Amino acid sequence: MSEMTKPLLEMQSVSKEYNGNPVLKDVSFTLGQGEVLGLVGENGAGKSTLMNILFGMDVIHQTGGYGGKVLIDGNEVKFASPLDALKAGIGMVHQEFSLLPGFTAAENILLNREPQNRSVLSLVFGDRANTIDRKKLQKEAIDAITKLGVELDPDMMVSEMPVGHKQFTEISREISKSSIRLLVLDEPTAVLTEKEAEMLLKAIRNLASQGISVIFITHRLQEILDVCNKVVVMRDGRIINELDAGKTSIQEMARLMVGREVSTHPKDDDRAGRTISDRIVLSVKDLWVDMPGETVKDVNLEVRDGEILGIGGLAGQGKLGIPNGIMGLFPAGGSVMLNGSPIPLNNPRACLDSSLAFVSEDRRGVGLLLDESLEWNIAFPAMQIQEKFLRMYLGGLIKWRDQNAIKTVTDKYIEQLQIKCTSSKQKAKELSGGNQQKICLAKAFALEPKLLFVSEPTRGIDIGAKSLVLKALREYNRELGVTIVMISSELEELRQICDRIAIITDGSVSGILPASTPSEDFGMLMVGKTRKEA
């Protein structure tokens, strides 16, 4: 590349805020033709927002646009929609596949861009009556596959493909667009086997050598070292550092990724004052869970009585699958023992009966009865499962709700958790996200469980509410000795309240460390550098 040519893509101090919360601050970088740029960062670091801006996604326009400039070939662009971005030669391969299962690879690659033959009937019915030129379709698909340099049978049905081939099909689709100049790959290797990932990396090098630039988002740092020219590390909406991939190391990147050093550990003394017995409350062996996007394979965990165990890891690695699988919300297998007696899997009722409770990450879907009052929301599970808040008549034949008891318990939790509402009769959907989360907690507390799973309790709620929720959990653990397993994508949050933290990578436990361990070590576990606890 000569010094004269303008870089293919340049971002100049791009910034973005959602409802006053800055998510991107002063992001600038350049990408030349045929270069591979690695983009790394924890969840919520701003990677997706940055890509959304690049593609002109609706979500950006609807929330007031962005600041700064995006330049292509030195000219400023503002894409109104992803279609405009496509026209400018930018393609994206998403984490979730957008493929049609009943179509072959070739049909998917050229979806809605099929080569056509005109027929007599086209004159009558217009272009959509053109027949599809199968031979040419085949040829163009093979061309794209060859350009990518992978092995892929164009006639194979997507539903029968291994995941890797699906990924290749997706990428081939982008490449088959003749104008393609910049390809964004969002965690493309997350679902691949080692061998498939290797093939993909080779393909990326192949594309770069043909002059196509690539932005490669991944958490597998070794891959960055293998294929990228340079690395941009993001954290909290900023670019922390731009590194030359040839001169950096995994350690350096991992440190930059997670490394907001918390000077003093806030709750150390609190933790020190407690004794956690060595008794195992919950032991999980060989657990697998088929939860779409959060597959769990071969998880072994032991939870001690009275502790708060954190489960962390990057999105899509399977940390959410663990509680959802144990509680029977998704098909699961393996063995789970609570206090030495087995818990049947795939049976939500049995879990609840054995004093497990679960606060789901899907607050609005699983967690709440949105159209019902707070009283109902809090009392309903306890009423249904443990027959609390009921008055029995005729020896239990007739059960009547005990409205007073329900009101008392609801008011108790409203006060205890500082839930902001007009009254205990208010509808759940009228509360803010943070207060809804507190209702979910109250609901689980009302069950008086021995062990509580809390999944992403602070997702989508503001900072003030976050600390209240965390405080409520800690107090609940301290005062009643309830064992808590908390799943969260935010490592710092886990480090604040947990005793030990397990990191899930690729569906299984990559390590369990005490919460006081430096976050750098957790970062290494997240990117799957070391397997299993030493």
Partner 1 sequence: MRKELNAAAVRKFAANNIVPIIFIVLCAVCIPIAGYSGTYLVDQIITRIVRNSFLVLSLLIPIMAGMGLNFGMTLGAMAGQIGIIFITAWNVVSIPGLLLAAIIATPIAVLLGWFCGKMLNMARGREMITSYMISFFMNGVYQLVVLYGMGPVIPLSSDQVILPRGYGVRNTIDLLNVRKSIDNFWSIKLFADENGAGGITIPFLTIILIALLCIVIIWFRKTKIGQDMRAVGQDMEVAREAGIKVERTRILAIVISTVFAAYGMIIYLSNMGTLNTYNSHSQIGMFSIAALLVGGASVSKASIKNVFLGIILFHLMFILTPQAGKNLIGQAQIGEFFRVFVSYGVITLALVLYEIRTRREKAESARNLALSQEATA
Query: HSE (CB half, 13 Å, CA atoms) of 473?
Result: 35
Between 69 and 297, CB nearer to partner 1: 297
Which tokens go with 68?
A: 């700064």
Question: Which positions from 330 through 389 interact with partner 1, judged by CB under 8 A?
Answer: 331-333
To the nearest whole angstrom, how small is the minimum distance from the Cβ of residue 103 to partner 1?
7
- Per CB under 8 A, does 295 bind partner 1? yes
Between 16 and 173, CB nearer to partner 1: 173
Select from 189, 191, 111 the least CA-distant residue to 144.
111
Between 37 and 99, CB nearer to partner 1: 99
Select from 210, 205, 204 the least CA-distant residue to 188.
204
- Per CB under 8 A, does 131 bind partner 1? yes
Q: Quick one: which segment of 10-18, 68-76, 252-260, 289-297 binds partner 1 (CB under 8 A)?
A: 289-297
Select from 162, 466, 504 the least CA-distant residue to 309.
504
Q: Quick one: which segment of 94-102, 200-208, 357-365, 402-410 binds partner 1 (CB under 8 A)?
A: 94-102
To the nearest whole angstrom, how small is the minimum distance from the Cβ of residue 29 to partner 1?
28
What is the total residue count of the chain? 534
Which residue among 26, 84, 252, 290 contacts partner 1 (CB under 8 A)? 290
- Per CB under 8 A, does 298 bind partner 1? yes
Give the C-alpha distances (Å, rounded to integers) separating 203 from 89, 207, 210, 232.
19, 6, 11, 21
Which residue among 42, 107, 186, 307 contacts partner 1 (CB under 8 A)? 107
Which residue among 19, 62, 75, 112 contacts partner 1 (CB under 8 A)? 112
Query: DSSP letter string over 332-395?
Result: EEEEEEETTEEPPSS-HHHHHHTTEEEE-S-IIIII--TTSBHHHHHHHHHHHHH-TTEEEEGG
What does the DSSP 8-state code read for residue 363?
I
First to last CA, the chain: 47
CA–CA distance, 449 with 338 (Å, rounded to integer)? 12
CA–CA distance, 15 with 23 (Å, rounded to integer)? 8
Torsion of the alpha carbons at 263, 494, 238 and 174, rounded to the nearest 10: 160
State the greatest distance between any 2 C-alpha atoms of the chain, in Å, as a whole number: 91
Which residue among 267, 297, 401, 478 contacts partner 1 (CB under 8 A)? 297
Which residue among 5, 13, 81, 98 contacts partner 1 (CB under 8 A)? 98
Select from 358, 464, 375 the least CA-distant residue to 418.
464
To the nearest whole angstrom, how small is the minimum distance from the Cβ of residue 60 to partner 1?
17
How many other CB atoms are there within 10 angstroms of residue 25's CB atom? 17
Q: Binding marks (x or -) toward partner 1, 49..88, rule CB under 8 A?
A: ----------------------------------x-----
- Please identify which residue in the block is written with the tokens 């699958």: 321
To the nearest whole angstrom, how small is the minimum distance from the Cβ of residue 57 to partner 1?
12
CA–CA distance, 357 with 455 (Å, rounded to integer)? 11
To the nearest whole angstrom, how small is the minimum distance from the Cβ of residue 182 to partner 1?
19
- Per CB under 8 A, does 293 bind partner 1? no
Which residue among 102, 211, 344, 481 contacts partner 1 (CB under 8 A)? 102
Between 334 and 449, CB nearer to partner 1: 334
Contacts with partner 1 by CB under 8 A lie at 83, 98-103, 107, 111-114, 116, 127-132, 286, 288, 290, 295, 297-298, 331-333
